Amino acid sequence: MGLVLTRGGGPLSAPGPLVTAGELLGPPDDVAPTLLGCWVVTDRPEGRVALRLTEVEAYAGDGTDPAAHSHRGPTPRAAVMFGPPGRLYVYFSYGVHWCANVVVGAAGQGSAVLLRAGDVVVGEDLAAARRPAARAPRDLARGPARLTQALAIGPGDKDADLLDPSSSVRLHRGDPPAQVSAGPRVGISVATELPWRFWETGAESVSVFRAGGRPGSRRARQD
């Protein structure tokens, strides 16, 4: 169960304006819940898919969050996290799937918000073709790996500018959900006490909570 944090309106029927860099400044745990209801839009040769975010997780930079990839500084893998706000940090998780994050906070800080789940609102047929195992619309982007599959986000999108109208991956404003809940982050084994996972209360696309690290793995950070 989560703590209800905010109360807003219902979802938009179309994306709002692009998010601005100024809106992404601030501590990641403050910025993360404001991204709920935002639209992530991808344009590919085969068509457009857009989803409305229903679940995110915050990861802090400045070496303060041992669960973040940036904890050890701007390594080749995590260098994008230290860039300006609004960049897309994409990484390969467990050698199995891709995950996508929005860089937040000031450049050089190393903070990001993991995109965990969303509702596909444009291009459902195309998303379903990319996710043939999905049994229902709620499963198309339910979890960070499914989200990137539905949107066709991969290594070529690393460091994409989500705030650029000409980018093939963009982040648009949307109406906030009626209620936002908070609780522990998923699949990590350090800094587990931080309630830095945020989700739209009652949304069916929110991923299933799984505490602790991946079974059989010694990895403790956000992968």
> Is the domain covering 3-200 a CATH 3.40.50.800 domain?
no
The pTM (predicted TM-score) of the whole model is 0.88
Of 16-20, 24-28, 172-176, 215-219, the one with minimum mean pLDDT is 215-219
**Higher model confidence: residue 30 or residue 9?**
30
Percent of the chain beyond pLDDT 70?
87
pLDDT band at 208 (very low <50, low <70, confident <90, very high): confident
Note whether 174 and 52 are within 8 A (CB): yes
Q: What is the 3-state secondary structure (H, E, C) of the chain?
A: CCEECCCCCCCCCCCCCECCHHHHCCCHHHHHHHHCCCEEEEEECCEEEEEEEEEEEEECCCCCCCCCHHHHCCCCCCHHHHCCCCEEEEEEECCCEEEEEEEECCCCCCEEEEEEEEEEEECHHHHHHHCCCCCCHHHCCECHHHHHHHHCCCHHHCCCECCCCCCCEEEECCCCCCCEEEECCCCCCCCCCCCCEEEECCCCCCCCCCCCCCCCCCCCCCC
- Rounded to an integer, the average pLDDT of 150-179 is 96
pLDDT of 9 > 70? The answer is no
C-alpha distances (whole Å) from 153 to each of 27, 64, 95, 210 are 26, 28, 16, 24
pLDDT digits (tens, 9 = 90+) for 29-49: 999 999 999 999 999 999 999
pLDDT digits (tens, 9 = 90+) for 78-112: 999 999 999 999 999 866 789 999 999 999 999 99
Structure-block tokens of residue 148:
């990137």
Closest CA to 201 of 11, 2, 38: 2
Of 5-19, 32-46, 196-210, the one with minimum mean pLDDT is 5-19
The pLDDT score that the predictor gives to residue 108 is 95
The pLDDT score that the predictor gives to residue 63 is 82
pLDDT digits (tens, 9 = 90+) for 55-77: 999 999 988 898 999 998 899 88
